[in-house]
Amino acid sequence: MDEIAQPQIYLITPPEFELDTFPERLMQVLDTHPVACVRLSLASHDEDRIARAADACREVTHARDIALVIESHILMVERLGLDGVHLLDGPRSVRAARKELGEEAIVGAFCGTSRHDGMSAGEAGADYVSFGPVGATALGDGRRAEREIFEWWSEVIEVPVVAEGGLDCEQVTSFAPVSDFLAFGEEIWREDDPAAALGRLIAAID
């Protein structure tokens, strides 16, 4: 396939948020725009903190029949009633995650800018592969996942591909034709009205 139909929206939570206010913000976004999946992506390594955040987000997402995956913590998926895991180490943990969680769970793999890692993750059984950052960001080592990776992937590989990291309206317009999912996190949560911010980004798809 040369181009992908309009990509679906994938949301990433902020790395830190208030449990008494964030679920309401998430609810407003999900009730305003169609979202395929939400990723719980907390910086915290406090097990209780993560569990309480997962419970709060799961209540919102599952009421709307939207999948909730957690970043990295494979062993917390079943315990917290989540839909799967998003791995940050490329293909390395995909087989272990699949063995632990079974065939029904979502297993996604972030592969940075490495097409080879993406292919290996797909072969290992990942349900989707994400590349990024696609936009300018001060995080990481400065490398970006160029559009050419997505163009090649959409023509050759059947595993769905996610574009993430630093997406602005210009990037959305560029990457939408060659991505199955566009992932937004701080791009919307740093705004006073995240639903409106997401609306502007979705409008750039067309």
* End-to-end Cα separation, the chain, in angstroms: 19
pLDDT attached to residue 91: 97
Under 8 Å CB-to-CB from 81, ≥6 apart: which residues?
Answer: 58
Is 98 inside any structural domain? no
Give the residue with greater pLDDT, 5 vs 118: 118
In the chain, the amino acid numbered 124 is A
**Position 136 confidence tier, pLDDT thresholds 50, 70, 90:** confident
**Least confident window among 35-44, 94-103, 132-141:** 132-141
Number of Cβ within a 10 Å radius of residue 170: 10
Range of the domain at 172: 8-77+132-203
Q: pLDDT at residue 1 above 50?
A: no
143 band by pLDDT with thresholds 50, 70 and 90: confident
- 118 domain-assigned: no
Report the distance separating Cα 112 and Cα 83, nearest Å.
Answer: 23
Domain-embedded: residue 32? yes
pLDDT digits (tens, 9 = 90+) for 45-62: 999 999 999 999 999 999
User: Other CB atoms closer than 10 Å to residue 110's CB: what's the count?
Assistant: 25
- 29 pLDDT higher than 70: yes
Q: Does residue 22 sit within a domain?
A: yes
pLDDT grade for 35, boundaries at 50, 70 and 90 = very high
**78 — pLDDT class (breaks 50, 70, 90):** very high
Mean pLDDT of the chain: 95
Residue 82 C-alpha from the chain's centroid: 14
pLDDT over 70, % of the chain: 96
d(CA 201, CA 169): 5
Domain count, the chain: 1
**For residue 174, what are the CA distances in angstroms to 43, 164, 178, 196?**
30, 13, 8, 21
Dihedral angle sign, alpha carbons of residues 120, 123, 127, 128: positive
Burial of residue 79, with CB atoms counted within 10 A of its CB: 0-12 exposed, 13-18 middle, 19 or more buried: exposed
> 55 — phi, psi (to 5°)?
-60, -45
Look at residue 142 in the predicted model and tell me its pLDDT.
74
Q: Is the pLDDT of residue 138 over 80?
A: no
CATH number at residue 169: 3.20.20.70
Q: Does the pLDDT at position 2 exceed 90?
A: no
